[in-house]
Amino acid sequence: MSLFGFSLRPRRAKTAQTAKDRLQILLAHERHDGSDGPDYLPMLQADILAVIGKYMQIKEDDVDIQMERNDEISSLEINIEIPSAKQEKPVASGLRGRRAR
Amino acid sequence: MTQLKDKDPLGKVIVITSGKGGVGKTTSAAAIAAALAKRGHKTVVIDFDVGLRNLDMIMGCERRVVFDFINVIQGEARLKQALIKDKRLDTLSILPTSQTRDKDALTQDGVEKVLNELKEQFDYIICDSPAGIERGAQLAMYFADEAVVVTNPEVSSVRDSDRVLGLLASKTKRAEDEGTEVKAQVLLTRHDQRRVDAGEMMTIDDVLEILAVPLLGVVPESPAVLRASNVGMPIVLDEPSEASRAYEAAVARLLGEEVDMSMSKEKKPGFFSRLFGAPA
Ligand SMILES: Nc1ncnc2c1ncn2[C@@H]1O[C@H](COP(=O)(O)OP(=O)(O)OP(=O)(O)O)[C@@H](O)[C@H]1O
Ligand SMILES: [Mg+2]
């Protein structure tokens, strides 16, 4: 692909290529996001909280957003911890007894 | 020896600072944090260089940044959400900074709140300071319990380190409120023994004589540093090298262990102490 590079390529230290690849992926995202950066994420999070909040009670801490930026595609993983019965106070012994036997 | 004994209730804040830019603060912050975590200490490393985020690349987690230090300070995200768990060491976390905002987004109250919260969860909080002596650098050092002053054996770096040592002694919370001192130690990096031998580079003793603070360690100029940064590995997690051993030894000293400094002394040490002097 490059005009002069093909015979030199294989000899190039492998880590330099890794460095270039990492930068290309990262900078493509940074340039694309521009100065707005990933700052929509706080708003996205607030919206998610509001929507879920219509149906059940959750705290801000119960929303976990993970991102993995890749070459072709980036993924945004949103995990919401939904409160279960056991969070509603430990009614304790009765329940535990039933489970045991 | 001191592994399980003294379980400090609160984590210790250590700032990695220098005044001069490009001397190896971020490299050192990443290496020190990873070496502490490798030893089982719960450690977080924070990027204070707002607007010039780089610690994430050196730590190799740049693709996983969602929220950052500034989002937390401004109440847009919880600390828990901004912390990135290292995939190699479960005792290690990274708190990245913002790439899009500027240093004014850091507030003293905000920094204090975040640090206090981190102190509850971590044994060590490593603060990677920006260059200079302005707001960002001052806030990075303000709440520190200890400081590592990264210095190159070169005139402007040593001069700036001296300036920073002055700030550590006066412009920190410990200095202002409690009249106690931030314990400061010098980490001499990019040391080149051949150039010292040729009389082209100041010796370790020259630098220490000028700065008059204890020496935490000497990290040689090493091609391993660039290699590790290419692949996003803190140097102590990459292939063993002279530089990684130097950082491991520095961290052992940071933890109060007595590690022979022979490796870094000008007088040539014996082969064996050279090779095995610094336990991993
Ligand atoms: N011991 C070493 N041997 C060789 N190169 C090194 C060494 N330490 C640091 N470097 C190189 O020096 C450059 C600056 O390092 P680094 O980014 O850690 O400095 P910094 O003090 O954090 O810079 P800044 O002030 O911009 O934040 C990098 O290219 C790094 O690879
Ligand atoms: Mg830096």
Q: pLDDT tens digits, residue range A44-69?
A: 888 888 898 888 888 877 888 888 88
Query: CB burial class (10 A; 0-12, 13-18, 19+) of residue B95?
Result: buried
ipTM associated with this complex: 0.81
Dump pLDDT digits (tens) for A21-38: 999 888 888 877 655 455
Count Cα atoms within 13 angstroms, Cβ side, for B220. Answer: 18
CA pair distance B193, B152, nearest whole angstrom: 13
Query: What's residue B171's pLDDT?
Result: 94
| Segment among A35-39, B94-98, B176-180 with least mean pLDDT | A35-39
Q: Which amino acid is at A76?
A: L
C-beta B245 within 6 A of ligand 1: no
Q: Does the predicted model carry a pTM greater than 0.80?
A: yes
Structure tokens at B101: 């905002």
Strand partners, A65: A78
C-beta B236 within 6 A of ligand 1: no
Is the pLDDT at A10 greater than 60? The verdict is: no
Instruction: Indicate the average pLDDT of chain B.
Output: 91
| Segment among A34-38, B198-202, B237-241 with least mean pLDDT | A34-38
Out of A15, A38, A63, the one facing B231 most closely (by C-beta) is A15
C-beta B1 within 6 A of ligand 1: no
Provide the 10 A C-beta neighbour count for residue B8.
9
Query: What's residue A56's pLDDT?
Result: 86
Query: What's residue B2's pLDDT?
Result: 47
Collapse the DSSP code of B12 into the 3-class scheme (helix H, G, I; strand E, B; otherwise coil) and give the result.
strand
Is the pLDDT at A6 greater than 70? The verdict is: no
Could you tell me which chain B residue has the CA closest to the CA of A20? Answer: B230
Is the pLDDT at A95 greater than 90? The verdict is: no
**B80-88 average pLDDT score:** 95
Residue B63 and residue A69: Cβ atoms within 8 Å?
yes
Residue A64 and residue B231: Cβ atoms within 8 Å?
no
CA quadruple B267, B270, B276, B277: dihedral sign: negative
Strands in chain B per DSSP E: 12-17, 43-47, 84-85, 92-95, 124-128, 146-151, 183-191, 215-220
Collapse the DSSP code of B186 into the 3-class scheme (helix H, G, I; strand E, B; otherwise coil) and give the result.
strand
Is the pLDDT at B125 greater than 80? The verdict is: yes
Structure tokens at B96: 């990245």
CA pair distance B204, B185, nearest whole angstrom: 13
Q: Which amino acid is at B40?
A: G
Ligand 1 nearest atom to the CA of residue B229, by list position = 31
Structure tokens at B2: 């001191």
Residue A37 and residue B100: Cβ atoms within 8 Å?
yes
Query: What's residue B277's pLDDT?
Result: 45
B225 CA distance to ligand 1 middle (Å)? 8
A51 CA distance to ligand 2 middle (Å)? 40
Residue B100 and residue A36: Cβ atoms within 8 Å?
yes
Size of interface A-B (CB pairs under 8 A): 57
Where are the alpha helices (H) located in chain A, listed in sequence order? Answer: 14-33, 40-53, 93-100
Out of B81, B99, B230, the one facing A18 most closely (by C-beta) is B230
Dump pLDDT digits (tens) for B19-55: 999 999 999 999 999 999 999 999 999 999 999 999 9
Query: What's residue A96's pLDDT?
Result: 34
Query: How far is residue B157 from each of residues B47, B154, B191, B210, measured CA to CA in Å?
Result: 21, 6, 13, 12
A13 CA distance to ligand 1 middle (Å)? 20
Query: What's residue A98's pLDDT?
Result: 33
- When scoring B54, B56, B59, B66 by the number of chain A Cβ atoms within 10 A, the one with the most, hence best to mutate, is B66
Dump pLDDT digits (tens) for B15-29: 999 999 999 999 999
Residues of B with CB below 8 A from A67's CB? Answer: 63-66
Q: Do B256 and B226 contact (CB within 8 A), yes or no?
A: no
B192 CA distance to ligand 1 middle (Å)? 15
Out of A35, A36, A67, the one facing B64 most closely (by C-beta) is A67
Residues of A with CB under 8 A from a CB of B: 13, 15-16, 18-19, 22, 25-26, 30, 35-39, 41-42, 45, 60-61, 63-70
Q: How confident is the model at residue B263 (pLDDT cuts 50, 70, 90)?
A: low
Which position has the higher pLDDT, B119 or A85? B119
- Of B55, B66, B101, B47, nearest in space to A36 by CA: B101
